[in-house]
Amino acid sequence: MNQFEKRNMQGGNVVWIVVVVALIVFGFLLFKGWDRVVNSEIDNMTTVTGSFSCLPMKDGTIDQTNCQLGVRASDGVYYALDISRIQDANTDLKAEDTIAVTGYMQPIEAISSPEWNEFMVAGIIKVNTLLRTR
């Protein structure tokens, strides 16, 4: 081999090593949840999975006759649902169905509307997608 061929082989090896290292770093960041953290901070989208159920009043009771439906998350926290801008939904949902709700979350402290003051909720989810899960 002449000097020119050796130099090309060494340069090609360096390129492949850089590509492999970059793929490993990218894969590590992806599997560590880096993409979810960045997206959550940028658009505040959240997904809550739980039961489609009546929201409890501030005193802890649930009014079955005048039921305001929301979601009871798997950790027991209730969220009200704003479905005014929904893109995809099941139309045959019943109370206590297991659902997944994706949308913009507003903490209850940031809500100025008095209609939610009587309910014991952690926030309101402006729903983009509401689907039944199993």
The predicted structure's pLDDT at residue 64: 76
Q: Which fold does the domain 45-132 belong to in CATH?
A: OB fold (Dihydrolipoamide Acetyltransferase, E2P) (2.40.50)
> What is the structure's pLDDT at 59?
85
By C-alpha distance, which of 110, 112, 126 is closest to 70? 126
**pTM above the 0.85 mark?**
no
What pLDDT score was predicted for residue 10? 57
* Spans of all domains in the chain: 3-39, 45-132
Q: For residues 125 and 3, what is the distance between their CA atoms, to the nearest angstrom?
A: 66
Query: How much is the pLDDT for 36?
Result: 39
Residue 12: per-residue pLDDT? 65
Determine the pLDDT at residue 38.
41
DSSP-derived secondary structure letter, 115: G
Q: How far is CA 45 from CA 14, 48, 66, 79, 111, in A?
A: 41, 10, 29, 14, 17
Which regions in the chain score pLDDT beneath 70?
Answer: 1-12, 28-44, 87-91
Tens of pLDDT, residue by residue over 27-51, are: 766 555 443 344 455 566 888 888 8
pLDDT, averaged across the chain: 76
Inter-residue contact 26 to 19 (CB < 8 Å): no
